[in-house]
Structure 1
């Protein structure tokens, strides 16, 4: 740590807080706090406890579990204790979260890290299930006495997001015999309109040539604009994913790694040499392309999204526009492999763009961004 005082400051008492990180460490040392994840779920102040837990996991003192699962397991007891007043409702929600949602999150975490949006969706599913039980009680109903007409009435008064969140709970209720069978409409997906290609190209040119903008923001933005990557995936890229192969730079998003144009390569390599959040004891040897402030963690996608948005890049419209250009120029399965998408996703986007594989060779090429001319080699 270049500045030990920054670490000591974290331990110092703060005005208005009865408990400090130093208190947590002291109680751990005395055995007053068990060295388990379950014990950390209820510790206060929760931010200091979360940071301390991540430090202990990074040092191998606590078993490593997904950060988003930790957050959900910490949030759930408070929701059950403070939001739900009916004991029967609390029991149902506890069963639903413990035996349905959490196993799904853990199974997903075994394949790849859980994204913050996946954790928020689990929060929303629990919240909507709680509200639905309260609505039933207000109607003088329970899950056992609820009928199809009641489900229809609830659907009429709620929007697509709430209906989609509740659908999982109702399917679980049917499966566990807590309710009768219902007809549940398929969830609706409201996809944002893609950014016009000319606007996307203009944004790329602006980001490549405006050196007054933060390098971190520019690096994240060009990955979104060129390679159609969601911010949750951008945040989890490492410096090992930026590959130098002689005069060429590649970015590993899938297989094979994708070539990086020279102006973009200059931004990525410049950012790697000047990454922030590298001076603390927790991140001195971080391999994350966008290191976060907490031990072993990358930058939060929402934080990264704010930086990208400040440059005028709307995440979903920009990604959709970039993906449409790719599937117009290459077969959808090739795009899926190279950019880390599922082939079904790229095939659907290709169909929406009214393109077929037989036409990809003759697809029109977009003009280069204004303000730069790519060189033939990096030495030039």
Structure 2
């Protein structure tokens, strides 16, 4: 599908030199990476969407540069700084193209402006709990978005993984509810468990007809495809739940409450990741030895 889109995009490019440049970038950079990933596992929507944005913004950069009567191989630091200043909102997708041009000597080696995007006031524990309480009490919000918010704020799950969850990841034995996030399944506390079961029961009626037979817990509007991560991330933002900051706050708090290897196993994280987070958070479990422990 990406290759079909690419062919149409290249064909619609008026400037033949720009079209040739975009074709080379797609062939020698993007398609090589996409095919390598596809050989290991199916490509997600976000991966191909990122590649499309890179092509679109690469074309926009070439048009912008031509409007300044500057050739790509004559681009200066002043030009690059001006592009990032004018196109700040869409600057990131173009950076892959700029780096490729520099590495292949199609443009001079310049410094790509980098403006820090880290929020100096990350979500704290009190803010996370308050947000979780608001989500659970907000009956007017879509159950799908409320459930996703709980998975972020309570279980520190990234949106990219949430949309790949399937209904079989929900384990219900009649008394207890758990999620297959790691091994063994992680218990789901009330009232999140009730929200999850209600959502699961209503899921068939709320699933688009074109995707009725899909196994996804968060089905999308395309056949056999889950919900687009960007769509879910935007919905969470509207709900007042910043996905990345909420997840980071949750995982930092969890590694303060239990050893990092235990959290990693329960939530599907790599133990090196949780250990690093635990060290940064000042967790008291540094000397904990993973594995079975007998009294």
What band does the TM-score fall into relative to the shorter chain?
0.7 to 0.9
**2:178 aligns to what SS in structure 1?**
strand
The answer to whether the 8 Å contact 2:207/2:219 transfers is no
CA distance in 2, matches of 1:255, 1:157: 48
Evaluate the alpha carbon distance shift between residue 122 and residue 271 of structure 1 in structure 2; reply closer, same or farther with a 3 A threshold: same
Aligned to 1:53: none
| Structure with larger Rg | 1
Deviation at 1:158, TM superposition (A): 1.0
Evaluate the alpha carbon distance shift between residue 279 and residue 271 of structure 1 in structure 2; reply closer, same or farther with a 3 A threshold: closer
Q: Which moved more, 1:182-191 or 1:265-274?
A: 182-191
Indicate which of 60, 65, 76 corresponds to 2:6: 76
Gaps of 5+ in 1: 1-69, 361-380
Evaluate the alpha carbon distance shift between residue 175 and residue 247 of structure 1 in structure 2; reply closer, same or farther with a 3 A threshold: same
Aligned to 1:155: 81
Evaluate the alpha carbon distance shift between residue 112 and residue 226 of structure 1 in structure 2; reply closer, same or farther with a 3 A threshold: farther
Aligned to 1:107: 36
Aligned to 2:243: 315
- For residues 135-214 of structure 1, the aligned pairs below 5 Å read 135-138=64-67, 140-143=69-72, 145-146=73-74, 150-151=76-77, 153-155=79-81, 157-159=83-85, 164-179=92-107, 182-184=109-111, 190-192=117-119, 193-211=121-139, 213-214=141-142
CA distance in 2, matches of 1:157, 1:136: 8
CA distance in 1, matches of 2:221, 2:50: 24
| Matching of residue 267 in structure 1 with residue 186 in structure 2 | no
Deviation at 1:258, TM superposition (A): 2.1
Aligned to 2:145: 217
The answer to whether the 8 Å contact 1:115/1:232 transfers is no
CA distance in 2, matches of 1:247, 1:91: 62
Deviation at 1:280, TM superposition (A): 6.2
Deviation at 1:239, TM superposition (A): 0.9
Aligned to 1:304: 232
| Matching of residue 122 in structure 1 with residue 51 in structure 2 | yes
The answer to whether the 8 Å contact 1:305/1:315 transfers is yes
The answer to whether the 8 Å contact 1:200/1:225 transfers is yes
Q: Deviations over 1:124-150 (max 9, x none)?
A: 32233223333444455434x436xx1
Q: Deviations over 1:343-375 (max 9, x none)?
A: 565455445434464399xxxxxxxxxxxxxxx
Evaluate the alpha carbon distance shift between residue 276 and residue 151 of structure 1 in structure 2; reply closer, same or farther with a 3 A threshold: farther
How many pairs were matched up? 285
**Higher helix residue share:** 2
Indicate which of 151, 158, 172 corresponds to 1:230: 158
CA distance in 1, matches of 2:116, 2:183: 29
The answer to whether the 8 Å contact 2:46/2:230 transfers is no
Evaluate the alpha carbon distance shift between residue 186 and residue 243 of structure 1 in structure 2; reply closer, same or farther with a 3 A threshold: farther
CA distance in 2, matches of 1:152, 1:346: 42
CA distance in 2, matches of 1:202, 1:306: 20
**1:275 aligns to what SS in structure 2?**
helix
Evaluate the alpha carbon distance shift between residue 191 and residue 334 of structure 1 in structure 2; reply closer, same or farther with a 3 A threshold: farther
